[in-house]
Structure 1
Amino acid sequence: MSDLPEASGVQPVSSNELLEYYLNPLMQQSSESAVLFLQDKLHVDDFTKFADVYSLDSSGGAFKNIKRFMEEHFSLELPQIENPLQAIDKLKSSFAGALHTATSLSDVEKLDLAPNKKFLLIVELTPSARVGDKEQAITLNDAFVGSICRHLQKRGIKYTAMFTGKSTAENEANEVETFSGRHLLETAETKNGTFMNVSGSIFVFLRDVTVHLQAEDTHIIINATVTEESADKSDAGNSTAIVQLDLSGVSQNTTGDYTVQILFNTTHEGDRWTIQNILLSVNGPASGAFNGTLENARLQTGDIDLVVPILYSYHCSSMKLYVDNIRDESLKSFKHTFVELDGFQMQPFNIQGNAFFNAQDCVGFFTRGIWMGIFTSIILLSILMFGTLMVLNLSTPDRFDDPKGKTIVIAQTED
């Protein structure tokens, strides 16, 4: 097992990679058998929540038996696996030895297992939904895993064990913006938002889009309409992805329909993905002195952090982007033009569990208000420190007469 490749914690292992680089090499050994423990739902965050990982003297929490076996034998952890059931199904169809399934210890005890017979044993663990409490379900399954491993050890069987889930935990990676129910302060007129799924490889969520076109003395406000098909022309590759939003809308102060296109160019950079640039295109009605036409106008992102961990989605509750007239002088007449995205979230890479992963928000760690508070505090502390030093440097007069000593007499001379 020492020849197995290490897995990156940020790059998911596909089902084909799991089968080719991990399962098949183990099964090629003639004397090696395998036991697969399958839980219904398992997420890497379950180990953070229930394994007592923050305690130095931890016994493993709900995973104490699994932790002990991993420490006593050579072990390898794969943090992210895409569709492990697909790899297991392919392994079952190509496995040359005996194939067994079990749901209890008694089922395993009845099996004809011998040290010289190669077998693949698939153990179905208790679903967490049946128990109700997930931590309790994991604790029961961990005890079940321990009892089976000890039983096989007593029988002198050499095997490799694998513990995984059939799918990630439900709602483990859902973002609040995809919630479809009613919020506490939501009115009947409140628009929750539109979710766009592009072939399962790109997810976009958007509540509302407003474009403010300003050129010279003309100000046009376009309220764009977002539909589930707005992102259908988006495209994702191995290292790049283009998220294209095609919208239509009407203006409050002009006649005719407008078409709005917002283009997000993103790149996959190993352990992160980055929004390289955002382009805005607007086509207005042909009639009128000013039809508000823009073609691939670059938008300023200001101090917004557009670098996102590779497994995460990007989220911004209110995103206001102005036309970048500094880099493109031809857009100087549109210098006050901006587009406002309300409730925006997207993930162009590594969609897992058919849901958004945890989101990185556009609000930085240090906002302007925080910086104002920090600088104000520094100034006040500097004044306090300066005043304290001045007080500490004060010295009292030491030229007073000592009442118990000899009187100081200063002789006076007459001119």
Structure 2
Amino acid sequence: MTVTELAVMAEWALVCVVFLAGPFPAAPSQQVPVLLWSRESSLWNLQTGIHNGHITTDIQLGHYLEPALMKGPKNILLFLQDKLSIEDFTAFGGVYGNKQDSAFPNLQSIVESSPSSLVLPAVDWYAANILPTYLKEKLGVSPLHVDQSTLLELKLNESVPSLLVVRLPYASSTGLLAAKDVLRANDEAIGQVVSTLKSEGVSYTAVLTALRPSRIMKESSFAVGNVGRQLLATAQPTPDYPPVAFNSSRNRPCILLWATNVSVTVNEVQVDLTSRTFTGSDVNLDGSLCNDINAVLALTYPNAIKQQPLTLRFFLSQSFYRVSGRPWFTLNQVELIHGGNVAVFLAPQVNAPHNYSFHCQYVSSWPTFGSLLVSNTSKDLPSFKWQLHMADFQIQGFNVTGMAFSYASDCAAFFSPGIWMGLITTLLFVFILTYGLHMLMSLKTMDRFDDPKGPSIAVPHTE
């Protein structure tokens, strides 16, 4: 994940990262970003990633730190900035990967070229204050505060653990230009330190974090699967598990899938595959592939129904559309394979710009849930016996950066049924009010009255 792509993602999702060594009661809205990278490969490739909006707990953080501290290089380099927020990457990270406009060109190049890198979304910022103490206990050495000049005098031994701390300031002024200049200076310091270690041939694992946020975020989190429009909707608890990820040949995620419910019906036998998909260990991704044009995510569940395997295959493709002036990806079809039979579901409405993810509350073949999946199964397989239902569905098959979804293109229309009801009711009352005012303004007083002194009207009475 590049720094610029992280900034673009943060502009819509506002995700943050920090390291935590113990539980602390703090406001959940105060978070700081953290980046990790190492010259040792395959440190976090097998780790379960963090999906968009997830707040990492101290126990989960320990699992992420363990590979770097146990199997990684013995030299730990901690870049500790006074203040840093994810909005700094958003405001000063450059536009569309333009390093000349970015305040982090060195950091971006370092993360991109590192054999292993990891970005964890959102932990309380108090943890960064005790991070040196936590690393000291784990490594068994005292932290050594260094800069580029003192680093040249050190003789690091890769067999002996060392904890090197580099303090980085933040702008004392609230001006954007002052903040950008300080962040650019910090980025140059990071680049110089890393270049020094590289020239000495020292293997290391680096951590970039901050003691406190430079800005206090008003929104604590944005749950995955709910980053689209939720007007007039009631928030529901979001399950805490990462998305399914398929790694490319470079051992980086290239396809992400997430949902709160995955259910299939085969020959009128319904099976819930949610736990096996996201928290189980027996799901197989063999048959999946990804490139710049096509992506296939294959999920195989052994002994799913009647002791036979069940396979779900999602076929995505990317094409350039001249009308919009940019590429879009489409979920062409979903295949449900069981017992030698293949049920095909078309999904023409599941599409989004190539740098977005797609999210929808329901992607289902059931008419009750909108029928975004259209059955294209042969006559030998009755459609009512083969069904697929997914709730809070989110998928991304192109331009994936780490284990976090890009900004979601939601299937929900801007005008929900509730909004339409409110608009129609309002228009009805406005019409009644306008009609009433028109009637009042149309009333006229009489310009003639009967003369009370004139002869009265006599009406003859006949029997």
Q: Could you say which TM-score interval applies, normalised by the shorter chain?
A: 0.3 to 0.5
Superposition TM-score, scaled by structure 1 size: 0.47
Structure with bigger RCO (C-alpha 8 Å, 6+ apart) = 2
Superposition TM-score, scaled by structure 2 size: 0.43
